[in-house]
Structure 1
């Protein structure tokens, strides 16, 4: 059963996986991830490669290459235990496959290693993972609009994501946050995002570190009446983020989204009735006088 669950999950998301893999970024990454395999196994090329195999077969892996590939598989399995989306799973496989390719190419021939490493650097500079473009109920803030929007209506509870487009964790979390906004958005509970990679002053004001080594990206903050109520990940007294996993289940539990959603709907409905009564009374007064 433990083996069938991830298999069923993969098959369920298979159309989505194909959709992602057909994008230029993933097609290029796939070829770079299997580059050493292609070089080692392609007839006409592999015969000219060096090998440490006793039988001298240069078109097959030697014992050291097998060892490196097995170590890669173990690392990927460990990292993917904490992955929460298909994008993260695929991203981990691509990342560590490239690292293994660098090691294998340098071991095979330093010139091939330098060439592959250069290609990886160029690819990193010019190619970015595709940004999530699916349905969502999210308002995007700028440095000039966030304060006014959070303080405009005390009846509205806001959950705001502080993110940076260059952070892989933020890119992976985008679809999860969008799904939550579709399920829980209502007149009294709204979802927002602000790119602190672009608006550094917002990052300073709301105490979210934008360092490449920061563990605060993304950060989710709950606001009521313009005031911060809670945030995840939490930050300790030394300014370090406490490790926290951004799964949908964790967010629903920690932020009490089900309870917040029900309260927000009732509050707005009640305020709407009071507003209607007030309008009726004003009309009556106008008629009497």
Structure 2
């Protein structure tokens, strides 16, 4: 039953996935992933390649190449156990496939290995993973607006993501955070993001390291009354992030989003009642003014002149 549901879900989202995979980043990654198998199986080219096969068939994988490919499959499967989005699954596959391709090319011919490595460097410098552009209820902060917005209303709870565009983990987490904002955003519970890769002062002010070695990106911080209440991932004494999985269930549980949302709905009702009272009060004032004008037929200009006297 689960398999049928998964297949149906895939088919339902197939047009979106097809459009998404046609982006230059994924097209180039796909061809770089299959580069070595394509060369090894290409008629007219594979006959000129070196091989360690006993039968001398250079158009088929030798035992060492099969071993490397099997090891690649095991690594990808282990890494994808912690992946929470399709982007992360595909990203892990592309990344480790490129590493395996580089090893296979260097083993086959050092010149091919250098050429493939140069292509990988050019790929990293010219193509970036596409940013999430889907629906969301998220406010983006700058270094000048974040402090003011967090302290603007003490009744509002903020969940702020500290991210960097160059981080693949942040890019993979973007649709998860956007989906949470669609489900839980309200007047008393708001979602925000700040790019600390761009605003270095914010990174220092809120003690979120942008170093890849620290593994603190992305970081989620809960603010109440402008003060930090909790953050994930937590940071140890050496400044390294404690391992934590950024999936929707973990975030809902750790940040008590359901409880916060229920409290925030009460704030929504109080704000709505306050707005209604203000509106009714203004209407009552207008009604009393109209009644006074009806009781006093003197022109307004004459009444004002009398007040001045």
Normalising by structure 2, report the TM-score: 0.87
Residue number in structure 2 paired with 1:256: 256
State the shift of 1:280 in Å: 4.8
Residue 58 of structure 2 is matched in structure 1 by: 58
Residue 92 of structure 1 and its aligned partner are, at CA, apart by: 0.5
- Report the Cα distance in structure 2 between the residues aligned to 1:108 and 1:37, rounded to whole angstroms: 12
Match of 2:118 in 1: 118
**Partner of 1:240 in structure 2?**
240
Per the alignment, residue 77 of structure 2 pairs with: 77
Displacement after TM superposition at 1:24 (Å): 0.9
Q: Is the 8 A contact 1:155 1:268 kept in 2?
A: no
Distance 1:285 1:135, change over 3 A: closer
**In the TM superposition, what is the alpha-carbon distance from 1:259 to its structure 2 partner?**
1.4
After superposition, the Cα gap between the structure-2 partners of 1:9 and 1:214, relative to the gap in structure 1 and judged at 3 Å, is farther
Q: Distance in 2 between matches of 1:103 and 1:279?
A: 72
Cα offset, 1:156, TM superposition: 1.1
1:208 aligns with 2:219: no
Shift of 1:278: 5.5
1:214-273 CA-to-partner distances (Å, cap 9, x unmatched) read 211000111111111111111233432211100011111111111111210111211332
What is the TM-score when the length of structure 1 is the normalising length?
Answer: 0.93
Larger radius of gyration, structure 1 or 2? 2
CA contact under 8 A between 1:151 and 1:226: conserved in structure 2? yes
Equivalent-residue separation in structure 2 for 1:153 and 1:255 (angstroms): 20
Contact in 2 for aligned 1:163/1:217 (Cα 8 Å): yes
Q: Which residue of 2 aligns with 1:277?
A: 277
Structure 1, residues 16-38: CA drift from partner, whole Å, max 9, x if none? Answer: 43232111110010000000011
Determine if contact 1:53/1:63 at 8 Å carries over to the other structure: yes
2: CA distance, partners of 1:86 / 1:279: 49
Report the secondary structure of 1:172's partner residue. helix
- How many equivalent pairs are there? 289
Quote how far apart the aligned CAs of 1:276 are: 3.8
In structure 1, stretches of 5+ residues that fail to align are: none
**Where do 4+ consecutive residues of structure 1 move more than 4 Å?**
1-13, 278-289
- Measure the CA separation in 2 of the matches of 1:43 and 1:52: 19
Q: Distance between the aligned counterparts of 1:283 and 1:135, measured in 2?
A: 38
Q: Secondary structure at the match of 2:193?
A: strand
What is the alpha-carbon distance in structure 1 between the residues aligned to residue 6 and residue 107 of structure 2? 35
Counterpart in 2 of 1:195? Answer: 195
Question: What is the match of residue 268 of structure 1?
Answer: 268
